């Protein structure tokens, strides 16, 4: 259900695509070769959506990525979020190299575990204790298991458009089409084949108080947790409306339900204390991945002692061969030390430069007559072609995605890479000069 949101020029997609194809033959060749042995030629299904085909990269440094054909790009993908310090940050590389020289993994205890845990419990408001895993998908499942154990209840509430990894119970109603919404109503909509029925998942609408109240009324005394992306980064970077997170805090407390913030994107991006610090609402549990490892595979569950005790006592099982491995924790310690060294200046810079970029792009596009909206914050924001600001996932369905895809092609042709879904990530390595050069490229892309 994509409505044209503009009569402005359409970014010349045919000539942009021809330019890109003429300059990225090495990527196409590699992708064809990879597709004969690697499913879809990619390592994560979402990367298949790259158009005209997935790019292959040789290296990155700071705010820049280079593809295998030698083309340079201003990188606003940041590996889908983890590279908060930019590409190949020297502090992390030397920390990982030093740890690697001592052993790739022990499957046993070492100093980095409690050192990183101490840093995290100092920084994260809800963290009396933490535990480690490797991906956001895993750690969300641990949080939901813990909530079931703590409450003796099976169901949980998840919001439409929110992404919490690819496990069956949360990979529902992620990006349902308008047709699916028309037939399924508020029932969980699976994303792919082979998923078990998500019969414990109750769907609600983001920023919809009534819909959350309805969900509690429909299953009285049965809801173990409400989980949300406190800033809805995976569908339009849609912020919580004023008071919505406090409302979730209040209704969960009233119902003996745990509130879980999935801070996989917002953690260490909206500030050291993540979304819970930014919005001043403290959940019972919070999940982290992406930026906490600065690019190394690490995820974290942080939570209040009365719940985390269930893991401490071994009543709730948390396991994993590579959990707490020294490479990931060396990266995390270096990333956290970098971020905490002068946090007020670092985050002020991230917000200021991100806002300058976002507002600059908006101004360029609006001068040419495009109806474009931006939401989110400086370090992670979203652009879409629409005549009204989306407040939830269903509003976002009205944006003109075909027009945005043409804009992406023009940006890529001019050496600027944001994520395909409209999201832009900023790192500490993006300088004002990078923003100036990016805005000049956006001028050229807009034609
Ligand atoms: C908010 C959120 N939660 C969970 C996940 C899953 O994390 P991972 O891809 O590390 O499994 C993601 C991934 O993008 C995410 O954005």
The confidence score (pLDDT) of residue 119 equals 98
Please give the CATH architecture assigned to the domain spanning 90-341. 3-Layer(aba) Sandwich (3.40)
Helix (H) / strand (E) element for 259: namely: strand 258-262
Query: What are the strands, taking DSSP E only, across 45-198?
Result: 57-61, 64-67, 72-75, 129-133, 155-159
Strand partners, 232: 238
Q: Is the CB of 140 under 6 A from ligand 1?
A: yes
The alpha carbon of 79 and the centre of ligand 1 are apart by a number of angstroms equal to 12
pLDDT tens string 86-145: 999 999 999 999 999 999 999 999 999 999 999 999 999 999 999 999 999 999 999 999
pLDDT tens, residue by residue, 393-434: 999 999 999 999 999 999 999 999 999 999 999 999 999 999
Domain ranges of the chain: 13-76+343-446, 90-341
- Percent share of the chain, pLDDT over 90: 94
Structure tokens at 149: 């154990």
Q: Is the pLDDT of residue 265 over 80?
A: yes
Integer Cα distance of 184 and 101 in angstroms: 54
Give residue 45's pLDDT band: very low, low, confident or very high (50, 70, 90): confident
pLDDT for res 105: 97
Of all protein residues, the one whose alpha carbon is nearest to atom 14 of ligand 1 is 165
Higher-confidence residue: 122 or 4?
A: 122
Please report the pLDDT score of residue 185 as a whole number: 77
Hey, which of 175, 264, 285, 328 would you mutate to test ligand 1's pocket, going by the most ligand atoms within 8 Å of its Cβ? Answer: 264
Mean pLDDT of the chain: 96
Which 3 state secondary structure label does DSSP give 377?
strand
Q: What is the pLDDT of residue 48?
A: 84
According to the model, what pLDDT value does residue 1 have? 44
Using pLDDT thresholds of 50, 70 and 90, give the confidence band for residue 6. low
pLDDT of residue 4 exceeding 60, the answer is: no
pLDDT of residue 9: 73
The whole-number average pLDDT for the span 196-222 is 97
Task: Write the pLDDT tens digit of every residue in 321-357.
Answer: 999 999 999 999 999 999 999 999 999 999 999 999 9
Two tokens, residue 372: 């474009």
Predicted TM-score (pTM) of this structure: 0.97
Distance from the CA of 22 to the center of ligand 1, in angstroms?
34
pLDDT for res 199: 96
Secondary structure (3-state) at 54: coil
Q: What is the pLDDT of residue 161?
A: 97
The topology (CATH level 3) of 13-76+343-446 is 3.90.1150
Ligand 1 mean position, distance from CA 138 (Å) = 9
């Amino acid at each position: 259900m994509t409505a044209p949101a503009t009569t402005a020029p359409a970014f010349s997609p045919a000539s942009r695509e021809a330019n890109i194809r003429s300059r990225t033959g090495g990527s196409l060749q590699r992708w064809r070769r990879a597709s004969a042995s690697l499913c879809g030629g990619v390592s994560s299904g979402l990367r298949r959506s790259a158009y005209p085909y997935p790019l292959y990269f040789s290296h990155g440094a700071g705010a820049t990525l280079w593809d295998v054909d030698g083309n340079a790009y201003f990188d606003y993908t940041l590996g889908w979020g983890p590279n908060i310090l930019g590409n190949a940050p020297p502090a992390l590389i030397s920390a990982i190299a030093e740890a690697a020289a001592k052993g790739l993994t022990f499957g046993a205890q070492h100093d980095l575990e409690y050192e990183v845990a101490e840093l995290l419990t100092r920084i994260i408001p809800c963290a009396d204790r933490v535990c480690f895993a490797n991906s956001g998908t895993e750690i969300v499942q641990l949080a939901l298991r813990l909530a079931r154990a703590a409450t003796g209840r099976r169901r949980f509430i998840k919001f439409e458009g929110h992404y919490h990894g690819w496990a069956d119970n949360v990979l529902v109603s992620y990006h349902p089409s308008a047709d699916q919404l028309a037939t399924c109503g508020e029932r969980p909509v699976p994303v792919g084949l082979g998923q078990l029925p998500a019969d414990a998942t109750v769907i609600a609408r983001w920023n919809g108080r009534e819909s959350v109240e309805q969900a509690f009324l429909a299953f009285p005394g049965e809801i173990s947790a409400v989980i949300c992306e406190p800033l809805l980064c995976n569908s339009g970077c849609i912020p919580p409306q004023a008071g919505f997170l406090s409302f979730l805090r209040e209704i969960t407390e009233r119902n003996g339900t745990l509130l879980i913030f999935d801070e996989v994107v917002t953690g260490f991006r909206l500030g050291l204390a993540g979304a819970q610090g930014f919005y001043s609402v403290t959940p019972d549990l919070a999940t982290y991945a992406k930026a906490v490892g600065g690019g190394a595979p690490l995820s974290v569950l942080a939570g209040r002692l009365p719940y985390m005790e269930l893991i401490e006592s071994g009543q709730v099982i948390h396991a994993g061969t590579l959990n707490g491995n020294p490479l990931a924790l060396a990266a995390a310690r270096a990333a956290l030390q970098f971020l905490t060294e002068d946090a007020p200046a670092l985050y002020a810079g991230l917000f200021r430069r991100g806002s300058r970029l976002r507002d600059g792009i908006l101004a360029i596009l609006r001068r040419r007559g495009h109806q474009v909206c931006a939401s989110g914050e400086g370090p992670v924001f979203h652009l879409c072609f629409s005549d009204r600001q989306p407040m939830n996932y269903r509003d976002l369905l009205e944006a003109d995605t075909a027009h945005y895809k043409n804009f992406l092609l023009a940006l890529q042709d001019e050496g600027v890479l944001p994520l395909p879904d409209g999201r832009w990530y900023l790192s500490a390595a993006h300088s004002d000069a990078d923003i100036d050069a990016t805005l000049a490229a956006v001028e050229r892309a807009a034609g």
